[in-house]
Amino acid sequence: MALGQFITLEGGEGSGKSTQARLLEQRLRDNGLEVTMTREPGGSLFGEHLRNVLLDSKTPEHSALSEALLFYAARADHLENKIRPALAAGRWVVCDRFSDSTRAYQGYAGALQLEAIDTMDQLVVAPTFPDLTVIIDIDPAIGMARADQRRAERDGSNTTRRDRFEGRDRTFHDALRQGFLTIAANNPGRCVVIDGSRDADSIGAQIWQVVATRLLQEAGT
Ligand code: TMP
């Protein structure tokens, strides 16, 4: 059996990564591969429970460390109950956000020391680091407008219904974008940056080219 590969998609708000995760899942399936599609925060029963707490705008204020520990608590459960069993069974795992989101949101754009994230990564994630991380880069002004539009289409709400992270100011979203670009620059063997301003089909084609050249040949499929 070909080895399963672990692919994560990352980016700021409205970058289109969830759409791309679904397109990638379909393409992998079309190529005869078994795929587990998942997301963070969430992905497991406990993880989805914590997702509600983390994103709820009514959740009481708490420290950056408390928040990061909750993300990693959800991640530990997600890895143990979903990601590792899937990879062990030879399945490909496509995950919409993973620990680079903690590094970008809580680290580079937030108040948490990067060393604390390194420590939690070693404790929780190692040795299951992604084989490939696709970072979709988008101007935060475009991304936030897209996220607002998507929310309005979904449930008729407006910008006042942004979740705890979407609702932060432009400085936060600019720092977030730079954070993701720094992560990519620091991890060139694992990360690829894709221009998210293009249409979904062009972005999908670019991602597929990266997956095909970097992973499909390696996995012997
Ligand atoms: P989503 O909008 O992609 O579903 O992600 C939910 C929100 O959670 C998004 O605003 C990013 C945020 N987030 C973090 O702040 N840290 C993390 O580690 C993860 C996984 C998500």
Ligand 1 atom nearest residue 110's Cα: 15
Tens-of-pLDDT digits for all 221 residues of the chain?
457 999 999 999 988 999 999 999 999 999 999 999 999 999 999 999 999 999 998 999 999 999 999 999 999 999 999 999 999 999 999 999 999 999 999 999 998 999 999 999 999 999 999 999 999 999 999 988 888 888 888 777 555 567 777 778 889 999 999 999 999 999 999 999 999 999 999 999 999 999 999 988 766 66
Ramachandran class of 78: left when φ > 0, alpha when ψ lies in -120 to 50, beta otherwise: alpha
Q: Check residue 150 and give its pLDDT.
A: 82
pLDDT of residue 1: 47
Q: Whose Cα sits closest to atom 9 in ligand 1?
A: 165
Note the pLDDT tens digit of each residue in 109-145.
Answer: 998 999 999 999 999 999 999 999 999 999 999 988 8
CA of 10 to the centre of ligand 1 (A): 9
Residue with CA at minimum distance from ligand 1 atom 7: 165
- Looking at residue 2, its pLDDT comes to 53
Determine the Cα–Cα distance for residues 206 and 5; give it in Å rounded to an integer. Answer: 18
Both structure tokens of 41: 């925060």
Single pTM value for the model = 0.93
Pocket probe mutation, ligand 1, options 8, 18, 39, 40, max atoms within 8 Å of Cβ: 40
Contact at 8 Å (CB) between 70 and 109?
no
pLDDT of residue 160: 55
Pocket of ligand 1 (CB under 6 A): 40-41, 55, 71, 97, 101-102, 105-106, 165-166
Could you tell me the two tokens for 121?
């990564």
Residue type, 178: Q
Contact 75, 99 (CB under 8 A): yes
Q: Which atom of ligand 1 sits closest to the CA of residue 97? A: 20
- DSSP 8-state secondary structure symbol assigned to residue 60: P
What is the pLDDT at residue 70? 98
CA of 19 to the centre of ligand 1 (A): 15
- Quick one: tokens of 216? 């499909």
HSE-up (13 A, CA, CB side) for residue 94? 23
